Structure formats: C-alpha cells, structure tokens
Amino acid sequence: MLTLVIGNKNYSSWSLRPWLLLTETGIPFDEVRVALDTPTFAAEIGRYTPAGRVPVLIDGDLAIWDTLAIAEYVAEAFPDRGLWPTDRAARARARSLCAEMHAGFAALRRSMPMNVSASLPGCGWSVAVQDDVDRLTAMWRDCLATSGGPLLFGRFTIPDAYFAPVMSRLATYAVAVPDDIAAYRDRVLALPGMRAWTVAAWAETDFLVADEPYRRRP
C-alpha cells in the first residue's frame, strides 16, 4: 500500500496535487498528515525525507518527494489508470503544462496563497497576477478546444490535478475569468476528490499566520 505524506489541506497546494491524483483515479493509499509550521514539523517530515517538505510518496523503502516525480512514478506503477493522455503529442503537451505550472506563476503563488476555507475577493490582485491568470487562461482554453473537454485532455489526467490548487485560488479570491474557463474551474472543483479535500480543509483548525496575509481570525 502506498503512503502519501501531506501538509495542511487548507494551505498545502503541493500536497493537493498527488492526493487528488490518487483519489480521483481510485489508487489506494494511506494518508499521513504532518501539520506545517509547527515546532515538530522538521523532525516529523524528516522521518520520511531529507528534503524536509511535503508531499512525500512512500512505496516500501522508496520515498519520492517531488510532485512531478510522484506523478510520473504513479503513472508508471498504474498504467491502466491512464494518468497521462494516450496520444504521444497530447502527452508531451500535458507534461509541458505541468512543468510550466511547477516552475512558474510566482506572482499568483505569492500574492494569492491557497486558502481553501477563506473568501477573499479582490485580495492579492496585481498586474503581475493578472498576467499569470491570462497565461493560464490561454493554456487551458487551448487544451479544452483541442480535446473538446470537459477536462483539459477530455478525461481526468495529471494536468487537471496539477491545476486544482489554482482553481481553489480562483474561487477563494473571486478572480474574474471568461465563462468557458469558469466552467472548467467549476468542473474541477466539483470532482469528488476535490470536494472531499475541501470538506477536510474546512474542518481543520490550524491557523498559519504566514498563509493568512489578508485574513485574521479572532
């Protein structure tokens, strides 16, 4: 049985990606949650990886600690689940999208941190953030037009899991997007796995000051 080590569901966008991928494709796994930004975090996560970050996928004695590496490992281990598109060209495009998301969109990440349980319309917006949103919109629209939808490559694949934290951000900060992109956002947010993650995030009581730049709780 695989084990996935994750952080707080309300905040950990990196944890969401492999969790949603495994959940939505029916791959069984055990979940270990390590609360972020606590005095014991370094020691706890150090039991699983020297990288000191979540997520981490454990398979026996093997630990995989990067989200793209996790996605590739799971796709190879479960080829029947079709985690990447079948077509070679589509698969290359899917990998390109994930790599761009993995390394880019710093303004969006910095100014609109994932905060599932919050409602913060208008917070964090800037020209740089809008540039990121415009680029993402173009990427999604191109994929949806090519595949015909309803998800980026027709059925659920790794890129949909990879962009799920962005969909959460669009909802939290009420970011204005075109109608076709709003429809795609809503389809991702309505995935059973995404709904389950959201419910769990709302149930958390951890309050991380560093991840709450716009909201203060009493």
Same domain, 137 and 153: yes
Residue 209: predicted pLDDT = 78
Q: What is the three-state SS of 84-134? A: CCCCHHHHHHHHHHHHHHHHCCHHHHHHCCCCCCCCCCCCCCCHHHHHHHH
Same domain, 157 and 186: yes
Provide CB contacts within 8 A for 208, sequence distance 6+: 8, 11, 36, 37
Residue 216: predicted pLDDT = 56
Q: Indicate the residue among 33, 63, 81 that finishes a domain.
A: 81
Q: Is 214 a domain residue?
A: no
pTM of this prediction?
0.95
CATH number of the domain enclosing 144 = 1.20.1050.10
Q: Indicate the residue among 59, 81, 103 that finishes a domain.
A: 81
Same domain, 69 and 142: no
**Looking up tokens 């949103």, which residue turns up?**
133
Same domain, 48 and 144: no
Q: Is 122 a domain residue?
A: yes
Residue 199: predicted pLDDT = 98
Same domain, 60 and 26: yes
Same domain, 119 and 146: yes
Same domain, 104 and 148: yes
Q: Is 217 a domain residue?
A: no
Same domain, 109 and 184: yes
Q: Indicate the residue among 34, 61, 81 that finishes a domain.
A: 81
Residue 210: predicted pLDDT = 76
Mapped onto helix, strand or coil, the DSSP state of residue 45 is helix
Same domain, 119 and 21: no
User: 105-108 contacts: CB < 8 A, separation 24 or more?
Assistant: 105/132, 105/135, 105/136, 105/166, 106/132, 107/131, 107/132, 108/132, 108/133, 108/136, 108/166, 108/169
Residue 214: predicted pLDDT = 83
For range 87-94, the mean pLDDT: 98
pLDDT band for position 218 (50/70/90)? very low
Same domain, 8 and 95: no
Residue 215: pLDDT above 80?
Answer: no
Total count of domains within the chain = 2
CATH number of the domain enclosing 18 = 3.40.30.10
> How many angstroms separate the CA atoms of 54 and 48, rounded?
9
> How many angstroms separate the CA atoms of 130 and 72, rounded?
30
pLDDT band for position 86 (50/70/90)? very high
Chain mean pLDDT for the chain: 95
Same domain, 128 and 151: yes
Instruction: Find the domain containing 96 and state its range.
Output: 88-197
Q: Per-residue pLDDT tens for 121-156? A: 999 999 999 999 999 999 999 999 999 999 999 999
